[in-house]
Structure 1
Amino acid sequence: MLQQHPTTSPARSHTSVVGRRLRATLTAVAAGSALVTLAACSAPGSGSGSSADATPTAVNTAVGDTPATLTLFSAAGLQTYEQGLADAFHAKYPKIKVNLRVEADNNYNTVLPRLLASDSTPDIVQPYDLLGGVKDGLLTNLDAYDKAYGWSDKVPASALAPGRVSMRTTGAGSLYQAGGSAGPLVGVFYNKELASKVGMKSVPATVADLEAMMAKAKKQGITPIVASNQDGLIGHLYNLLLGDYMGAQKLSDIVYHQPGATLDTPAAVKATETLQKWIKAGYFASDVNAINQEASYGQFTGGKGLFFFQGSWITQTLDENFKGKYGVFPMPPATEGGSYAGMTSNTLAFSIAARSKHKDTAALFLNFLTTPEAAKVAVKNGYAALTDDAKSAAKPSLSGSLTDQIQAGYAAIAADNGFDSWLQNSAPAVGTKLTQQLQLLVSGKVEPAAMVKTLQSTYADALKSS
């Protein structure tokens, strides 16, 4: 399944669990080195409590040799990937089986709440409506397991944040969804031949350095940026700029509806001004508002532009004849030495049903998702996976294979705890308004400050209506 629109790429706006988690198959990335394997440890107590206990406090991590059978509720589009996880887990813990209960992609979100409330609930799920599941007492509070296994110390906080719930918001509070860290890289794809022509010998260290490459390209008659804005996909670049100037946490706070979060800030205006500057400089094709995503793919593979701001899901979509002719690096920070930031989705995050009769064993499975074996499964299925040397991984480079570059970019963002989400994930109305405003920005009919105020107003109205 391929990502077709920014409002279908981020987790919150998906109507399909496959669209929410799969993001399309990426080019496989080399595992490189392994995730840290968490040593088994025991928290006070010997069991997970009854199946009705949604907030266990006494948990047992020494269950690897206890026979059990877990059920993982899977969407059909993820069956191969999740079966791979189940098989790898069973290989590590032969006395525990993980059976998949597979549902059609378009039925998953409808069927799941009923299953979670039934006596035949699966043990492991990934709910689309995390807030609703927590509110209805259908999901297990994982704080005790987090403490016992040390997940918060092993996984970037920005990767765990979408699984935290506090009051009526996500992004902070108790943990209800956990696991490892794997997902797509949204960054800067580049045409190798054109990069050589403009003298780009290393990954730009700042937004200003990236802009300098664009200026050189423009001077040589090369279109600096390939994009489609008929469907608002300049939004990928805009979100990357927002993450750079606002910081990943402040952007995520908006998406997670954190109290006091606002887009109407000087940093957001600066990001918008940067995009406007590139528009006015002619760094996009003059007809970018009339170009759709499919056409933009053809332009990039046809050598019509230097840079393409997209997600690594596109690697299976680009022309086969273009393989080896392009690379990718993460969006450079706004300032030298600044933090990397970028949108992603954690494909190794799962929840445990409140009615599960095997909570401790299910938590062992979640812990397994932080191990080298799980990372290899993620890589085999096309995701970049967080490795144990993420903080000391090789810096993003123009050398190495495409898969190496994807992995390095993902690791760089992880090391800076810079995972964030798409602004349009904050509310459907924001997604619609963002596409409109981006088109107006391109056509010169809105100024950056006014655009930011409009988006903030749309966001505030959406919060009130919800």
Structure 2
Amino acid sequence: MKKWTRLTFAMVMATVMIVVAACGNQKENNEGANNTGGASQEETITLTMMHPWTSPNVDNEVYKARIAAFEAQFPHIKIQQDGVAAAQYKTKLFTLATANNLADINVTWPGADLEPLVKGDLLMPLNDYMDNWNGLVLEDSLVGYNADGNQLAIPTKRNFVDIIYYNKEYLAQVGYNEFPTTYEDFIDMIKKLKEAGITPISLGNKEKWPLQSSYMSIIGQRFAGEDFLNKVMAGEAQLTDPQYVKAIAVIDELTKLEAFNVDANNMDSVQAQDYLIQGKAAMHISSATVDGRIRTNNEEGDKFGIALFPSVPGGLGDPKMSAGVSQFGISIKNGLDEKKQAAALEFIKFFVSEELYTDLAKAGILVPANVEMGDDISPYLKEMYELTSHGTAPVFDAVINTQAAKEFENGLQAITVGRGTAEEVAQDTQALIGK
């Protein structure tokens, strides 16, 4: 009897184990079937993104916060960021482009900087998705990122590169209660600042682009006119033309007047901003972006004014214009697989949005979009909009090809240390136009 009982119990347990195992297998099969149908929702997709948002400018913080917000809302999409300093960014971008090894998402510039990427067919056309930005992004800001009818990027900010920030107290100290409107008075003011023991202009040209972009984009326009650079690229004018050589010679004149700080070529652009903020110089020429550091987020912001470069003798350009460009276009690499492309489109729609433009505007950044100017918008930003609302001149390296622009930067820096002439810089740069 006991033997029979033990045998019956063993048979029952064996049956139970078989049933449990079968149920377990059925559950695994069901889960496997469910995973097959829902993998696209839960699978982690990693997108690489290269950007130049490494410096402490306020707009850079807005961009990085927007990336973090995207990852929080779309946890299955990871953005692997490659932050490259602005001075090296374009060089790396074009090096990767040559090897057909761009990141999945890239920050790009319009005009001449976009051309190599267009020729290599490296950017995905966004034409079919433009409904996301219709009525939001200004049409004239999209033009620079359009090639052969294809929209290749959506810009995130509008920047003017030639804003003169000045210490009102220092200028008043030498008799200028308003910023001078003529070059003659501008030079007179510089001489008087020097006599008073005040460094006239803080320059951080270690990265080389400031003299090329912030200075020569507008000085060249003042002398040669706003259409001159486009004529150069079309072969209808040359940088060696007398009017443009006069423009380059301004850098030589300022150098000989000792208008810049002595360590200009060892100081970067952020350090030069600090130089002005700390009261070590009377002026600093840079982009509208840095208004956030100098005035908006500075307790002593009211002591700084903004102005544009004055008119010049015999100048052909409109002295009310500022040199500007739509910047930081967000582009998607061409040829991504279906899943990555869908994720990248999800990112660009989220990232370049009304929320981004509003956050940038609140931080004091000019934006290429129709956004409400509420009461919380800084009065400094409104002043900047007014200053830059009288027409836009082109930025040098947005028109002139990269190789020539780099040669121009080297030549301008050489002038600041007493090597070379305006004529030589013009000749050396002209030789590389179009190459």
Give the TM-score normalised by the residue count of structure 1.
0.58
Quote the residue 2:219 is aligned against.
241
More helix, by proportion: 2
Quote the residue 1:413 is aligned against.
388
Contact residue 193 and residue 325 of structure 1 kept, 8 A: no
Q: Which amino acid aligns with 1:26?
A: N
Pick aligned residue for 2:165 from 176, 189, 197: 189
Contact residue 142 and residue 176 of structure 1 kept, 8 A: yes
Cα distance in 2, alignment partners of residues 215 and 156 from structure 1 = 44
Give 1:324 shift.
Answer: 2.9
Give 1:309 shift.
Answer: 1.6
Contact residue 76 and residue 103 of structure 1 kept, 8 A: no
Pick aligned residue for 1:163 from 131, 145, 152: 145
Give 1:307 shift.
Answer: 1.0
Pick aligned residue for 1:347 from 325, 328, 336: 328
Cα distance in 2, alignment partners of residues 227 and 115 from structure 1 = 33
Cα distance in 1, alignment partners of residues 350 and 240 from structure 2 = 41
Give 1:196 shift.
Answer: 2.8
SS at match of 1:237: helix
Cα distance in 2, alignment partners of residues 421 and 125 from structure 1 = 22
Contact residue 107 and residue 328 of structure 2 kept, 8 A: no
Quote the residue 2:241 is aligned against.
265
SS at match of 2:304: strand
Give 1:299 shift.
Answer: 4.3
Pick aligned residue for 1:303 from 276, 279, 282: 279
Q: Which amino acid aligns with 1:437?
A: G
Deviations along 1:172-210, one digit per CA (max 9) or x if unpaired, are x64322345444754212123212323443454455554
Establish whether residue 384 from structure 1 lines up as the match of residue 415 from structure 2.
Answer: no
Q: Which structure 1 residue ranges, 5 or more long, are not aligned?
A: 1-15, 29-74, 91-96, 117-121, 167-172, 394-400
Cα distance in 1, alignment partners of residues 63 and 201 from structure 2 = 33
Give 1:456 shift.
Answer: 1.5
Give 1:241 shift.
Answer: 1.6
Cα distance in 1, alignment partners of residues 423 and 332 from structure 2 = 40
Contact residue 124 and residue 333 of structure 2 kept, 8 A: yes
Alignment of 1:137-286 (within 5 A): 137-142=121-126, 155=138, 157=140, 159-165=141-147, 174-179=150-155, 181-183=157-159, 185-208=161-184, 210-229=186-205, 232=208, 233-235=210-212, 236-248=214-226, 250-251=228-229, 262-285=238-261
Contact residue 189 and residue 327 of structure 1 kept, 8 A: yes
Quote the residue 1:427 is aligned against.
402
Cα distance in 1, alignment partners of residues 308 and 332 from structure 2 = 31
Give 1:419 shift.
Answer: 5.1
Pick aligned residue for 1:455 from 416, 429, 434: 429
Name which of structure 1's ranges 224-233 and 317-326 shifts more when overlaid on structure 2. 317-326
Quote the residue 1:17 is aligned against.
50
Give 1:250 shift.
Answer: 4.0
Cα distance in 1, alignment partners of residues 253 and 102 from structure 2 = 51
Deviations along 1:218-259, one digit per CA (max 9) or x if unpaired, are 4544332222456545443234322443445544676xx666
Establish whether residue 81 from structure 1 lines up as the match of residue 66 from structure 2.
Answer: yes
Q: Which structure 2 residue ranges, 5 or more long, are not aligned?
A: 1-48, 85-91
Cα distance in 1, alignment partners of residues 426 and 67 from structure 2 = 40
Deviations along 1:86-117, one digit per CA (max 9) or x if unpaired, are 99xx9xxxxxx79754123069966996688x
Change (3 A) 1:403 1:251: farther
Cα distance in 2, alignment partners of residues 271 and 177 from structure 1 = 33
Cα distance in 1, alignment partners of residues 418 and 57 from structure 2 = 35
Quote the residue 1:438 is aligned against.
412
Q: Name the larger-Rg structure.
A: 2
Give 1:340 shift.
Answer: 1.9
SS at match of 1:385: coil
Cα distance in 2, alignment partners of residues 304 and 430 from structure 1 = 30
Q: Which amino acid aligns with 1:17?
A: M
Q: Which amino acid aligns with 1:456?
A: Q
Give 1:339 shift.
Answer: 4.1
Percent sequence identity over aligned pairs: 17
Cα distance in 2, alignment partners of residues 331 and 350 from structure 1 = 32
Give the TM-score normalised by the residue count of structure 2.
0.61
Name which of structure 1's ranges 433-442 and 78-87 shifts more when overlaid on structure 2. 78-87
Aligned residue-pair number: 363
Quote the residue 1:373 is aligned against.
355
Change (3 A) 1:321 1:125: closer
Alignment of 1:283-294 (within 5 A): 283-285=259-261, 287=262, 291-293=266-268
Change (3 A) 1:198 1:180: same
Cα distance in 1, alignment partners of residues 82 and 293 from structure 2 = 21
Change (3 A) 1:201 1:437: same
Change (3 A) 1:369 1:291: closer
Pick aligned residue for 2:82 from 79, 83, 105: 105
